[in-house]
Amino acid sequence: MSLPLGPRIARCRIRQNAGGTALLDFLVERFTYHTREAWLAALAASRVLRNGEPATGHEQLAEGDTIEYRCGDLPEPPVPHEFQIVHAEDDLLVIAKPPGLPVHPAGRYFAHTLWAFLREEGHADLHFLTRLDRETSGLLLAARTPAAAKRFQELASQGRIAKTYLAAVEGEFPETLHASGWLHRDATSTIRKKRRFSPLQPHVPGEQTAETHFACLARRQGLSLLQAELITGRTHQIRATLCSLGFPVVGDKIYGRDETWFLRFRDGTLTEDDERALRLPHQALHSWRLSSPPSTAMAQQWTCPPPADFAALFPGTT
């Protein structure tokens, strides 16, 4: 039975570094799927609220402010619809998704998300336990009840949910490498969400610990196929770590060899030379294996092969 999606409303809470910024300037810089003129129109139509009240755009933001955007029916970019429920229990789903499919509603995507497609199939109130970027393919876990979500989050905090990724990277990677350090904002980048990995050093407030174990499975024509075991689970952890180590993920527009690829991709101006240099239309990062103790307390393991174009980089290996 298909379930309704409900109204499309985007919310965010203002952090300290955005305090003092004019609301309109914040919207234009933070949410680039609209032009300045489009945001002015949304403000004039009272579709942007600050702390529950219609906003004009001239307000000076303060830390803790809540911004709400009543999006309505906006056009969304096309996405692949294919996904597979690999395993289902009363309180757990294991799902395999293709590259290019967002998991959660965000930015330009609402109805074109895994969350929405699952609702169309009757799966309500899912709690995604593992997160994948839009361009990352492979397995993720979703709990069907709040109690199950809490139980699996506790297992994850105890290190009892193991996550293993495959990544194709530029360069000749060593046999093994254990990367332990910190993730922080990349102050040298023009891309707001880009992060940088630094080896262990005295802790700086705002930085997150990050630990990943890498093993090289194959090398071919200047590329390396890696297995990445997550010890911690941070946003962009594998991609940022590999970029900072000098081995960017193939096809990665943010953490690749040229971050201006992302700017042109966002604007729809990628050139044929860009596409050849990227090698793939998506980043070569794949959630390959998940293991989790189910309700019976007996360990289970699930695997999922990488996309065909990823596998073709290393014939006979994946």
For residue 142, pLDDT over 50 is answered with: yes
pLDDT digits 0-9 by tens, 48-65: 999 999 999 999 999 889
pLDDT digits 0-9 by tens, 176-194: 999 999 998 888 888 888 9
The CATH code of domain 166-285 reads 3.30.2350.10
- For 306, what's the count of Cα atoms within 13 Å in the CB-facing half-sphere? 27
Neighbours of 300 (CB within 10 A): 14
Q: What are phi and psi of 66, to 5 degrees?
A: -110, 125
Using DSSP's 3-state secondary structure scheme, residue 300 falls into: strand
Residue-range domain boundaries for the chain: 9-70, 84-161+295-311, 166-285
Q: What are phi and psi of 230, to 5 degrees?
A: -80, 125
Domains 9-70 and 84-161+295-311 share a fold: no
The pTM of the full predicted model, rounded to 2 decimals, is: 0.80
Catalytic-role residue among 65, 133, 186, 252? 133
Class of domain 84-161+295-311: alpha beta
Amino acid in the structure at residue 261: W
Say what the pLDDT of residue 227 is: 98
pLDDT digits 0-9 by tens, 251-286: 999 999 999 999 899 888 999 999 999 999 999 999
pLDDT digits 0-9 by tens, 29-40: 878 778 889 899
Active site residue 133: yes
Q: What is the mean pLDDT of the chain?
A: 87
Level-2 CATH architecture, domain 9-70: Roll (3.10)
Neighbours of 57 (CB within 10 A): 19
Say what the pLDDT of residue 247 is: 98
Highest mean pLDDT among 41-50, 216-225, 299-308: 216-225
Q: CA–CA separation, 190 vs 229, rounded Å? A: 29
Residue 201 confidence class, pLDDT cut points 50, 70, 90: low
Residue 153 confidence class, pLDDT cut points 50, 70, 90: confident
